[in-house]
């Protein structure tokens, strides 16, 4: 299981700074999908463990050529009382007016499959590649992304699944509300 210690020392500012002050680190050009998802997973844990049982979904946007992490985000819907503060939207709102060409040369990493709203944001910003930590818990808009020629990579990562399983066990009602469903334990 990953921990805060897993993050490189110069990456810890991603977890300790308020969103408007987060400055992503520069990564080596030798980056990998799994290491970037590991960073997104740390952000997901931050939202769940450090911020009072928020929905554990983390995201990061990485330049395809350089491997530079451009921005990060995590789902803060519960913490901020915002219906739209999903991880991908949090990430996009943390971007200081990047030119459209930057999005078109980037990969979005997310610990859980994108919902319809976040799928639309990926399409709107022409993000060509989305890497998903897991999609067993929630199968989102992957088909829609593919219809818009977005490359979708599913990593099927056990750590992502275990974190979501723990969250759903501890916060069942919040989960059902978040995905717009009624289910076992959901308030009618």
Tens-place pLDDT, residues 80-128: 888 888 888 888 887 677 888 999 999 999 999 999 999 999 999 999 9
Average pLDDT over residues 25-47: 78
Q: Would you call 71 helix, strand, or coil by DSSP? A: strand
Q: Phi and psi dihedrals of 130, rounded to 5?
A: -125, 125
In the structure, what pLDDT confidence band is assigned to residue 173 with cuts at 50, 70 and 90? confident
Residue 50 near residue 74, CB atoms below 8 Å: no
Give the residue, 70 or 80, on which the prediction is more confident: 70
**Percentage, residues of the chain above pLDDT 70:** 77
CATH classification for the domain delimited by 33-177, as one of 3.40.140.10, 3.40.50.720, 3.30.499.10, 3.30.360.10:
3.40.140.10
Is the predicted pLDDT of residue 4 greater than 80, yes or no? no
User: According to the model, what pLDDT value does residue 47 have?
Assistant: 85
Neighbours of 169 (CB within 10 A): 9
In the structure, what pLDDT confidence band is assigned to residue 34 with cuts at 50, 70 and 90? very high
Neighbours of 83 (CB within 10 A): 11
Is the predicted pLDDT of residue 40 greater than 90, yes or no? yes
In the structure, what pLDDT confidence band is assigned to residue 160 with cuts at 50, 70 and 90? very high
Instruction: Answer yes or no: 173 catalytic.
Output: no
Neighbours of 81 (CB within 10 A): 8
Residue 55 near residue 105, CB atoms below 8 Å: no
Write down the catalytic residue from 42, 88, 134, 177.
88
**Percentage, residues of the chain above pLDDT 90:** 48
Is the predicted pLDDT of residue 72 greater than 60, yes or no? yes
Measured CA to CA, the distance from residue 153 to residue 86 in angstroms comes to 20
Q: How far, rounded to the nearest angstrom, does the alpha carbon of residue 138 sit from its chain's CA centroid?
A: 13
DSSP string for 157-169: -HHHHHHHHHHHH
In the structure, what pLDDT confidence band is assigned to residue 21 with cuts at 50, 70 and 90? low
Average pLDDT, the chain: 81
CA 125-130-134 angle, to 5 degrees, is 140
**Residues with Cβ < 8 Å from 99, sequence gap 6 or more?**
none
In the structure, what pLDDT confidence band is assigned to residue 17 with cuts at 50, 70 and 90? low
Residue 44 near residue 159, CB atoms below 8 Å: no
CA dihedral 114, 89, 108, 174 (to 10 degrees): -40
**Residues with Cβ < 8 Å from 29, sequence gap 6 or more?**
65, 66, 67
In eight-state DSSP terms, residue 9 is G
């Amino acid at each position: 299981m990953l921990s805060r210690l897993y993050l490189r020392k110069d990456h810890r500012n991603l977890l300790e700074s308020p969103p408007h002050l987060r400055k992503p680190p520069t990564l080596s050009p030798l980056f990998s999908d799994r290491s970037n998802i590991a960073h997104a997973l740390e952000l997901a844990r931050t939202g769940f463990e450090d911020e009072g049982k928020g929905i554990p979904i983390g995201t990061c946007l990485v330049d395809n050529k350089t491997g530079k992490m451009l921005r990060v985000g995590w789902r803060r819907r519960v913490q901020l009382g915002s219906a739209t503060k999903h991880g991908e939207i949090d990430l996009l709102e943390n971007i200081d007016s990047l030119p459209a060409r930057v999005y078109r040369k980037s990969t979005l990493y997310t610990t859980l499959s994108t919902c319809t709203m976040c799928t639309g944001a990926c399409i709107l910003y022409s993000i060509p590649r989305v890497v998903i930590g897991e999609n067993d818990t929630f199968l989102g808009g992957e088909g829609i992304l593919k219809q818009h020629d977005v490359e979708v990579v599913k990593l099927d990562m056990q750590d992502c699944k275990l974190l979501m399983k723990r969250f759903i066990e501890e916060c069942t009602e919040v989960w059902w509300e978040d995905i717009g469903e009624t289910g076992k334990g959901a308030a009618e």
